[in-house]
């Protein structure tokens, strides 16, 4: 394959698949096996948009891929040349546009079978929408309190039958003594991190990543004979107070790693903390998808921890979303973004904020849609726009902050 072909396909490929109306959705499983054994093994392919046509109804599914797949020579050429053109045929077509899909309302659904698996990080901000927050907390697969965030959970947990946190981490200068003692007695892992190079928010994100990487650590590389005993001790004793790696009875969420992460309470309080949370959205692609960068206590030691895998196999796409009693906020990617906005979950007000750079955007599904309009600070910024349907499409030339209000639980 030529260098030019590789470059072309790096930006994305669209697959077209035809099925009869009676096929249902079961054929997707068979299709996934077909693709994963060939096209999706390409190291150069990062995003695939799968378009399924059932009679006259077309459905698009975005598959977010990492780069841990082995190169398979000729696989892209094979599909580019085409497959069978009849029913069930699979054809690849060059396409520069990639599609990012967002469905933040799914984290709040009561339907466990369709709910996305996610980790929930709680920051130290008052929680007023108790019912809405409790639903989110109960739905989470992994629950982490950033320092004084445990104080907020303590008051709710005492009055409601909700799960206890999996971990409390940070410098713990805001953690009330009675709260720390209460959760310590219940067996909650309390992990002090006194680094001055990271906030409690960042430390909590790093803790989640470490749990995922600890699960993978026995699989990474091959230990020498002299290292085998040390590895066995690690598995037996665990790391960071959580002996999950390689253990029987490991938590079910680990099979769904990497988890999406929701940070609750990140968009309140001091303005500098709010901007720090927004900065975390920009760092998410590198920090959350490409392994843990040297930060926090790692920086103080001058590098990564011994044995820490900074190029985790968990490189598949994950999402970081900021949520509060008032709003949900996330960073749209360059290109086309499809956002599920069920109006029974979210209020009507939304905004598109060009925090990265000036951008040209086109929208569909807003009361005041934009058509190739430039947005920038000092120019036009679309705030207080309105959602008018359950799905919004945004095409942007630069990363763009999208925020919409939460519908209050009555």
Residue 200: give its domain's CATH number. Answer: 3.40.50.10240
Q: How many domains does the chain have?
A: 3
Are residue 148 and residue 283 in the same domain, yes or no? yes
The lowest-confidence range among 29-38, 275-284, 380-389 is 29-38
**How far apart, in whole angstroms, are the C-alpha atoms of residue 214 and residue 170?**
19
**For residue 65, how many C-alpha atoms fall within 13 Å in the half-sphere facing its CB?**
26
Are residue 44 and residue 121 in the same domain, yes or no? no
Check: CB of residue 392 under 8 Å from CB of residue 355: no
Q: Which of 278, 298, 323 is the last residue of a domain?
A: 323
**How far apart, in whole angstroms, are the C-alpha atoms of residue 242 and residue 238?**
6
Are residue 230 and residue 368 in the same domain, yes or no? no
pLDDT mean over 316-343: 91
Are residue 91 and residue 22 in the same domain, yes or no? yes
pLDDT digits (tens, 9 = 90+) for 98-141: 689 999 999 998 876 777 889 999 999 999 999 999 999 999 99
Residues forming a β-bridge with 366: 387
**How far apart, in whole angstroms, are the C-alpha atoms of residue 123 and residue 146?**
5
Q: Which of 323, 338, 362 is the last residue of a domain?
A: 323
Structure tokens at 251: 């938590």
Are residue 316 and residue 271 in the same domain, yes or no? yes
Q: Which residue has the higher pLDDT, 56 or 329?
A: 329
Structure tokens at 266: 């990140």
Q: Which residue has the higher pLDDT, 158 or 102?
A: 102
Check: CB of residue 102 under 8 Å from CB of residue 323: no
pLDDT mean over 199-217: 84
Check: CB of residue 50 under 8 Å from CB of residue 17: yes
**How far apart, in whole angstroms, are the C-alpha atoms of residue 358 and residue 153?**
39
Q: Note down the domain range covering 7.
A: 3-97
Are residue 313 and residue 331 in the same domain, yes or no? no
Are residue 90 and residue 131 in the same domain, yes or no? no
- CB proximity list for 129: less than 8 A, separation 6 or greater: 325, 406, 408, 409
Can you give the three-state secondary structure of 250-269, one letter per residue?
CCHHHHHCCCEEEEECCCCC
Strands 260-264 and 118-122, how do they pair? parallel
Structure tokens at 165: 């946190």
Are residue 196 and residue 252 in the same domain, yes or no? yes
Are residue 123 and residue 25 in the same domain, yes or no? no
Q: Which of 323, 355, 384 is the last residue of a domain?
A: 323
Question: What confidence category does residue 256 fall into, taking pLDDT thresholds of 50, 70 and 90?
Answer: confident
CB-CB neighbours of 167 under 10 Å: 23
Ramachandran bin of 221, using left for φ above 0, alpha for ψ from -120 to 50, beta for the remaining angles: left
CB-CB neighbours of 196 under 10 Å: 10
Residue 159's pLDDT is 80
CATH code, 342: 2.60.120.320
- CB proximity list for 242: less than 8 A, separation 6 or greater: 166, 167, 189, 211, 214
Are residue 193 and residue 315 in the same domain, yes or no? yes
Residue 207's pLDDT is 92
Residue 410's pLDDT is 60
Are residue 83 and residue 161 in the same domain, yes or no? no
**How far apart, in whole angstroms, are the C-alpha atoms of residue 386 and residue 195?**
42
Are residue 235 and residue 127 in the same domain, yes or no? yes
């Amino acid at each position: 394959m030529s260098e030019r072909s590789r470059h072309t396909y790096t930006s994305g490929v669209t697959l077209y698949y035809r099925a009869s109306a009676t096929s249902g959705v079961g054929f997707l499983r068979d299709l996934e096996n077909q693709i994963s054994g060939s096209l999706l093994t390409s190291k150069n392919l990062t995003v695939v948009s799968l378009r399924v046509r059932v009679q006259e109804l077309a459905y698009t599914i975005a598959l977010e891929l990492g780069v841990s797949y082995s190169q398979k020579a000729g696989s892209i050429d094979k599909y580019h040349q085409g497959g069978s053109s009849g029913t069930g045929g699979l054809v690849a077509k060059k396409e520069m546009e990639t599609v990012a899909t967002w469905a933040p309302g799914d984290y709040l659904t009561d339907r466990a079978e369709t709910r996305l698996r996610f980790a929930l990080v709680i920051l130290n901000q008052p929680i007023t929408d108790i019912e809405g927050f409790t639903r989110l907390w109960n739905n989470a697969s992994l629950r982490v309190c950033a320092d004084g965030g445990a104080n907020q959970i303590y008051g709710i947990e005492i009055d409601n039958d909700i799960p206890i946190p999996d971990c409390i981490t940070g410098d713990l200068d805001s953690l009330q003594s009675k709260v720390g003692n209460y959760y310590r007695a219940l067996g909650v892992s309390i992990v002090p991190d006194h680094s001055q190079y990271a906030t409690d928010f960042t430390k909590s994100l790093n803790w989640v990543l470490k749990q995922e990487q600890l699960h993978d650590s026995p699989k990474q590389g091959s230990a020498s004979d002299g290292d085998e005993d040390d590895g066995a001790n690690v598995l037996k004793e665990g790391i960071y107070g959580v002996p999950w790696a390689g253990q029987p009875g490991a938590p079910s969420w680990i099979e769904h790693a990497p988890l999406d992460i929701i940070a609750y309470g990140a968009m309140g309080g001091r303005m500098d903390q709010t901007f720090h949370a927004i900065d975390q959205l920009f760092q998410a692609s590198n920090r959350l998808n490409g392994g843990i960068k040297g930060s926090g206590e790692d920086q103080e030691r001058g590098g990564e921890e011994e044995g820490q895998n900074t190029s985790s196999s968990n490189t598949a796409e994950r999402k970081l979303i900021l949520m509060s009693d008032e709003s949900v906020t996330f960073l749209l990617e360059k290109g086309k973004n499809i956002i599920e906005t069920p109006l029974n979950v979210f209020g009507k007000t939304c905004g598109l904020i060009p925090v990265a750079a000036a951008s040209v955007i086109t929208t569909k599904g807003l009361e005041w849609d934009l058509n190739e309009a430039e947005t920038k600070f000092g120019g036009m910024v679309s705030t207080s726009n309105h959602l008018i349907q359950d799905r919004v499409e945004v095409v942007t030339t630069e990363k763009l902050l999208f925020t919409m209000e939460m519908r209050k639980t009555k």
